[in-house]
Amino acid sequence: MPYIMTLAIYPLDKADKVAQKYLDLLQELPIPNYIKRIVPAASRATENGLKVINVDEVKKDKVGDALEYASKFMLGFREIEGFNCEITTYATISESLGYIGMG
């Protein structure tokens, strides 16, 4: 099962707005049952603001749906000035080994 990681970066002075929007979006767009949240909203402060990551595990046949969900969710923050995000996919170790004939 592949992983989808979302990374959000935003200014510290926007943390209250981002946190409220996150809670609102969870009500609007609940996490679908085909997504297993492995790392929920782990955060750290940096000199440029806050960085927050989520790591989700999804079934291979649901990667497209999960990417669509993550995109819709992250687009919900678009009106917050200085908010940026990145969505990436990662293979599991067994998948990666399989690509090179070792799995």
Over residues 22-78, the pLDDT tens digits come to 999 999 999 999 999 999 999 999 998 999 999 999 998 999 999 999 999 999 999
The helices-and-strands tally (H runs, E runs) of the chain is: 3, 4
Domain boundaries, the chain: 3-92
Running DSSP on this structure, what letter comes out for residue 67?
H
Q: Contact at 8 Å (CB) between 20 and 26?
A: no
For the cut 70, the answer to whether the pLDDT of residue 103 exceeds it is no
Give all strands (DSSP E) within the chain, no chain letters: 3-10, 35-46, 49-58, 84-90
CATH code reported for the domain at 3-92: 3.30.70.100
Residue type, 71: S
pTM listed for this prediction: 0.88
